[in-house]
Amino acid sequence: MTSSQTRELVADRREQYAFHDDIAYLRETKRGLTRETVEEISAIKAEPDWMLQSRLRAYDHFLKRPMPMWTDGLDKIDFDKIVYYRKPSEREEKSWDDVPDQIKATFERLGIPEAERKFLAGVGAQYDSEVVYHSVKEELSKLGVVFMGTDQALKEYPEIFRKHYGTVVPHEDNKFSALNGAVWSGGSFVYVPKGVEVPLPLQAYFRINGENTGQFERTLIVVEEGAMVHYIEGCTAPIYATDSLHVAVVEVVALPGSKVRYTTIQNWSNDVYNLVTKRAHAHTNAKVEWIDANTGSRKTVKFPSIYLRGEGASADIISVAVAGKGQHQDTGAKAIHLAPNTTSRIVSKSVSKDGGRATYRGHLKVSPGATGVVASVRCDALMLDDESRSDTYPYIDIQEDDTTMTHEATVGKISAEQIFYLMSRGLTENEAQNLVIQGFLEVFTKELPMEYAIEFNRLVKLEMEGSLG
């Protein structure tokens, strides 16, 4: 197999979704980040004082905290060039018809309405920094399920919001959680009351528009005892000449006996730095699943984490990364066992091609007192050509004597024997390669709802499946 054939095989389809609308922004901050920027954002949003103070505390920490050195290239981010807040529409729209036409056109090209019509329980679409469109199916509202923009939730559900905000990812966690804490805007808020099972996935689209726009959404998901929810987010972004920054924080609180699944398909354009802190607290007997795919961005640094805080909690993380030309996917997973009889499973699959670099970085920790832990980590990497690179850095820190932990990692290329075998059954070489890659990633795709898997095909740049029907 030559690398040019490989390139043809997994052709980049991102251009199709890369478009840039000229929106007249109603309100935006000056480039760069100062204390005044933070105060201005808070003032525009008419926030309560505690949130302003919280933002300022995060801002101070952001200044103090050194840039992480364990991954490279972050020093290329010019924080002074970024616009930290931009507001494309004055208020959150209730109905699709009220959404401004230009924005609506953008979403229609992404297929949101069909997705909603067909399958989804609700759509929250983020266009730059504010949530402009939201709907939650009526029956869910009746059940008391809240699905709205995070800013709106701060106003409408201040008690729930304040109780949980920043408890899973404190501002002081890392430099980028501090940055998000200072300038966050938008994101989704989900609240599922005790015992309620949300029957269909809740879905939000996030898009960046506007050159040098930083998007700093903050997502908070609180799932009460015995409740269940599946949340899906997917992203595309227009391509720009200069770098964009996406720094999100996602907090999930899974209270005792609850079940939360969070699915992400990340397909930012190749100029975006995607630096995301996403973490869940799994309380007693709660079950949390991160299904995380990263195909876009220039550089993604994201390690979905689950802190197993209550006895019997379980964690399941599936992380998929595809690194193409000029990309570095520094992704992975963390499972931190803090309570007895907790279980975790991490499966990571990465594909690197055309000089891309895929890094798995993971942390599995079993703290003193967390007896009876069962944990497994599996990382597989596929490299499609000689220019690409794959790294695997798992950290495994066991501090209990009755932990059962296994870890395995393999890196390789598509085996000539597999291709030969499939071709001998009448497949072309391209079909054979597609089939092998499809099989390699199946652990991820089989976790997606079928309609969403179709959307995944449209959004994700790789033509890895489908050619065989």
Rounded to an integer, what distance in angstroms lies between the CA atom of residue 72 and that of residue 70? 7
Task: Locate 215 and state its tokens.
Answer: 């998007």
Rounded to an integer, what distance in angstroms lies between the CA atom of residue 321 and that of residue 265? 10
Task: Locate 342 and state its tokens.
Answer: 């907790």
Rounded to an integer, what distance in angstroms lies between the CA atom of residue 175 and that of residue 71? 13
Contact 229, 195 (CB under 8 A): no
Rounded to an integer, what distance in angstroms lies between the CA atom of residue 267 and that of residue 294? 6
Rounded to an integer, what distance in angstroms lies between the CA atom of residue 236 and that of residue 244? 13
Report the nearest approach of another protein to the CB of residue 433 (Å).
14
Identity of the residue, 403 or 430, whose beta carbon is nearer to another protein in the bound complex: 403
- Residue 131 is inside which H or E element, if any? strand 130-136
Report the nearest approach of another protein to the CB of residue 437 (Å).
14
Identity of the residue, 123 or 322, whose beta carbon is nearer to another protein in the bound complex: 322
Report the nearest approach of another protein to the CB of residue 332 (Å).
12
Identity of the residue, 211 or 400, whose beta carbon is nearer to another protein in the bound complex: 400
Give the chain's length. Answer: 469
Report the nearest approach of another protein to the CB of residue 68 (Å).
9
Identity of the residue, 277 or 388, whose beta carbon is nearer to another protein in the bound complex: 388
Identity of the residue, 8 or 139, whose beta carbon is nearer to another protein in the bound complex: 8
Identity of the residue, 173 or 385, whose beta carbon is nearer to another protein in the bound complex: 385
Rounded to an integer, what distance in angstroms lies between the CA atom of residue 232 and that of residue 268? 16
Identity of the residue, 73 or 466, whose beta carbon is nearer to another protein in the bound complex: 73
Report the nearest approach of another protein to the CB of residue 379 (Å).
9
> Which residues are registered as beta bridge partners of 262?
231, 290
Report the nearest approach of another protein to the CB of residue 163 (Å).
32
Report the nearest approach of another protein to the CB of residue 156 (Å).
41
In this structure, the number of other CB atoms found within 10 A of the CB of residue 142 comes to: 8
**Which residue ranges make up the site for another protein (CB under 8 A)?**
69-70, 368, 381, 383-386, 388-413
Q: Residues 18, 24, 29, 30: is their CA dihedral positive or negative?
A: positive
Report the nearest approach of another protein to the CB of residue 10 (Å).
14
Position of tokens 């005792």? 256
Task: Locate 78 and state its tokens.
Answer: 């010019």
Phi, psi for residue 453 in degrees, rounded to 5: -60, -35
Identity of the residue, 210 or 394, whose beta carbon is nearer to another protein in the bound complex: 394
